[in-house]
Structure 1
């Protein structure tokens, strides 16, 4: 049985508990090397760096200068309260004070913890790549309501899991009330259903999460890397000094 099938068939027994249990677990892999001060880089004419998004070879969404000297990667779960905490209390400073200078890029990659997580990960990818970061932040800002709503409709979610794969995630989003949530944020239901009916694209997200987590030793979320070094930090007060040590000062 593939990781994808395990996720989709066991996702909803206790979605809030699953999300909580999978958070945290960052492990130190080394220290960020001290580097000379990196000079700011001008954004393309008429844009700010926080307007610029590229998709990496790891299917992560890179915000900012793709050639930035300092590269931040976050593995995050959309159902993880600790990830929501960083989104609310750190990512805005990271974007405005560091990414916008062109010295730092911020790549967000999904680690999948449960079936709701997988559906959310597909929906934040549905449509233009520039929508990925704002939609992810919107999910984290309303995470308690999303997860509580899903948990209260557990029977419908379990029934959705029994459907064929091209129907399963469409029905899951309906049972969890996600069409209304994303519709209020610019993603129409027809487009959302089309994205979720593409079972291969949903499977790819789960497979990438599994493969990359094993490859890079990501055992929980949020897990951060700076220039390829996994760091023992998951709050802005811990991460900012490391960025400065790497040259963003």
Structure 2
């Protein structure tokens, strides 16, 4: 798991160079979600697209989790943005989340998936790698640069991260919350998530 870092606009390198039965959590206006909005179970993942542990979970567990729970309508899945680590991890996460938001709701999750999949190479060539993802989502280089340097959106990202950390008591990523009940922060197998979902449904 990765420890929470203070949210900061660390994007200069990108602009200069060519991540008891509980009740369902309250939805937030800026939540990004998949699945059945009326499902009895809500799974919230607090993660950073710059977090290697989160990327490993995304690659190794998420596809099966999505097929079993999201695609079948059994759960509503909510992804909440965090910034963890330091240096290139925060730079990549900040730019990746800004890019995903700029791409729009329909492309948000594909962009997030692409940033996760680009690890670890994205840490060596962040601008080039993220620009390719931007282009694949239909953005030009100018649109990409404008997106990741938009001060209002950087401020909004920082506010989301700080809110998720303070209001929801999230200190590390990935952190999973099943109907308001948090699992221990860190990587969890599908079997562990199965057990948490089963417990939340009883």
Partner of 2:201: 247
Partner of 2:87: none
Partner of 1:165: none
Partner of 1:210: 162
Unpaired runs of 5+ in structure 1? 13-18, 20-31, 36-55, 151-172
CA root-mean-square deviation: 2.7
TM-score by length of 1: 0.65
Contact 2:11/2:148 (CA < 8 Å) preserved in 1? no
Partner of 1:143: 119
Contact 1:73/1:107 (CA < 8 Å) preserved in 2? yes
3-state DSSP of counterpart to 1:98? helix
Partner of 1:234: 187
User: How far apart are residue 33 of structure 1 and its match?
Assistant: 3.8
Partner of 1:128: 104
Partner of 1:69: 40
Partner of 1:38: none
Query: In 2, Cα distance between the equivalents of 1:86 and 1:139?
Result: 13
Partner of 1:90: 61
1:1-249 to structure 2, matched below 5 A, reads: 4=7, 7-8=8-9, 33=21, 57=28, 59-113=30-84, 114-150=90-126, 173=127, 177-232=129-184, 234-235=187-188, 236-247=190-201
Query: In 2, Cα distance between the equivalents of 1:243 and 1:209?
Result: 25
Q: Deviations over 1:169-227 (max 9, x none)?
A: xxxx4xx5421232134433243233234211121111210122012111110001000
How many residue pairs are counted as aligned between the two chains? 182
Query: In 2, Cα distance between the equivalents of 1:70 and 1:33?
Result: 11
Compare CA radii of gyration and give the structure with the larger one.
1
Query: In 2, Cα distance between the equivalents of 1:192 and 1:237?
Result: 39
Of 224-233 and 56-65, deviating more is 56-65
TM-score by length of 2: 0.78
Query: In 2, Cα distance between the equivalents of 1:220 and 1:34?
Result: 22
